[in-house]
């Protein structure tokens, strides 16, 4: 349990500078309306991920060589 809590705390601390979190803090302090801010961030996140998935699907059709799959797998493992 100690390892789980330590890793969770480290990731949470590393995400403090995330632009989405800073924007949420800024908007919350300015407008004092948390629900519209949460829904706006949710909508923007969903749209961002949908566009990324659509773009990835289009690019994947162009890059369908076996070497590309290995390169992506190695890049994922490296990260």
Residue with tokens 């994947």, as numbered in its chain: 60
Kindly write down the DSSP assignment for every residue of the chain, as one continuous string.
-HHHHHHHHHHHHHGGG-HHHHHHHHHHHHH--HHHHHHHHHHHHHHHHHHHHHHHHHHHHH---HHHHHHHHHHHHH-
Give the pLDDT confidence of 17-49 residue by residue, as tens digits: 677 778 888 888 888 888 898 898 889 889 988
Give the pLDDT confidence of 12-25 residue by residue, as tens digits: 777 776 777 788 88
* pLDDT in the model for residue 11: 82
């Amino acid at each position: 349990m100690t390892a789980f809590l330590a890793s969770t705390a480290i990731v949470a601390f590393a995400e403090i500078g995330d632009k989405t979190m800073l924007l949420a803090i800024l908007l919350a302090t300015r407008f004092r309306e948390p629900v519209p801010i949460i829904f706006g961030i949710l909508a923007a996140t969903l749209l961002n991920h949908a566009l990324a998935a659509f773009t990835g699907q289009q690019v994947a059709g162009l890059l369908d060589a076996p070497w590309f799959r290995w390169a992506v797998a190695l890049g994922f493992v490296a990260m």
